[in-house]
Structure 1
Amino acid sequence: MILAVDVFYEQNRAKIVGLVFNQWTDATYARKIEKYRHDIAEYEPGAFYKRELPCIMDILADLDLTQLKYIIVDGYVFLDDEGKSGLGAHLYEALPIKVPVIGVAKTSFANNKKYVAEVFRGTSQKPLFITAMGEDLIKAAAMVKSMSGDYRFPTMLKELDNFTKSDMVIAE
């Protein structure tokens, strides 16, 4: 079981969506989990994980971690060549059962080449930036490259992004 998770923010509220699928090449998800939070921390430069990690933990509360093989986050596991922890590393460390975390980012960070693999998908000349903890980086990049879809961004992750941003109606 693989979980891809994303969060969308509106002021101090968040919509969190997780898509569960079985194989990297799956074109459709097996389960969708959707949650909302109202107690979102303010954005803190360099410490984004403080805002996003509680949201992701809400989704994980609905899953049996012993069945999870991987967690995919929208962002980085490591933020620079010194190994500064990003969202993915903080998530990995917070897990009571260590599940490999793979970060998939659309933009590059300066001074962040050592722990990053670039993946080119489809005919795109722009890479995805892959980072990982608990899994070999080259293997993680190959798994992301194998995901269903003909374009730069895998179909499953595009669908996740669409679900997360759609219908952001949160009761007060």
Structure 2
Amino acid sequence: MEKIIVTLPSLPTFFSQKHTVLIHGMGGQTKLFYRTLRTEKSLDLLWTDFSSNSWWTFLLSFVPGQSGLVQVIDRHRIDSLFLDIGSQSTAGLYFVPNHKTNEILKDVVQNRDQADIASILTGENDYFLLTVNFDTEYEVNSDKFYRQFIYGDNLNSEIRDVLLEAD
């Protein structure tokens, strides 16, 4: 995992002007954590809220369960940003076409950690979605893993190789 987030910023193709880099924190952080992120010049905090249904917010207000969606402005900072946002939880690192950013934001706001980013990218072929559970193994269809990697058929080979070699 660390190899991925350290190597990606060394690739010129990772700085594509046609792509947006997003980090989706799926819970585990406090409100203060995301308030502090708002002051960072290396990112744009697009959204933050409690990671579960709204009615749980009142009952579990003491639990650090904030989610957030961040657009990374300074891509050299993805290593620390991704690890900080994902700490104690699950986080997604998304390299997506610029024109899909608003649709992804809308889905994340509506569905929080259940957002289906891959379906939004149907028909796209130059992207990647990396989801990492920093806490425990994650289970989907009885398969246990701590990271999931989805990418388009035409993802730049340098980026793809970095992601695949770390597997």
Same fold (TM over 0.5): no
Question: Which is bigger in relative contact order (C-alpha 8 A, separation at least 6)?
Answer: 2
More strand by share: 2
Indicate the structure with greater helix content. Answer: 2
